[in-house]
Structure 1
């Protein structure tokens, strides 16, 4: 594997661990030239359904887009990268288990909100306030009241 720091082609696997759910393998690698370490993840290559946007456009599923949107909601919150990765894996498992070729973006939004609600209540409220496009303070207040229960 090519080193992301110096581009050297010879790297060595220093440590290998299986994820808790057994769906991926985490490998720590060290470059033979610059000796820097980095992490890679090995996952099965599967076809995710296309995402149907609200305006009818169809786009490919992109894990990075999901990671970025969750990252915005979780910014400066005490949630580990591992917890976020596990949440994304649960969302992806759900998408695959639906067995559909296309999934509405609203369905993914609901899955994200469910995971954020488990991870961090503040992040959940941040995401939901944007996702649901609150019009006034009463909508926001009702969401906060829902989380408090």
Structure 2
């Protein structure tokens, strides 16, 4: 069972922040073999959606209000620990992220920059591709929007 908690940057404990950065690094840098600057000073503006299993963060996203990342509200750094993906936690954390944007920002239009191979995953949550594929940190991405 995944317990989902929403926190601002200042509400995160030091241990939670460390666990978030470790999980993001484990997946986005090591697993995907992509050297990029994950610590981008955008975490301070974001709301953080933490998915806990047995008191350990195994799923995570960060959300932004309009104009803090894109013109529209947005979701980023969507990540689930490799050994936890078979449980559908990606769907759970994304649903909570969409609801958090509606609750905290009173917004329904959400723009994301999605890794292309996850197109169908995001489409299952109402996102639609806009524009052509592009490279971001040497990984194919597409812009997607949900209204």
TM-score in terms of structure 1 length: 0.29
**Structure ranking higher on relative contact order (CA contacts 8 Å, 6+ apart):** 2
Judging by fraction of residues, say which structure has more helix.
Answer: 1
Judging by fraction of residues, say which structure has more strand.
Answer: 2
TM-score in terms of structure 2 length: 0.30
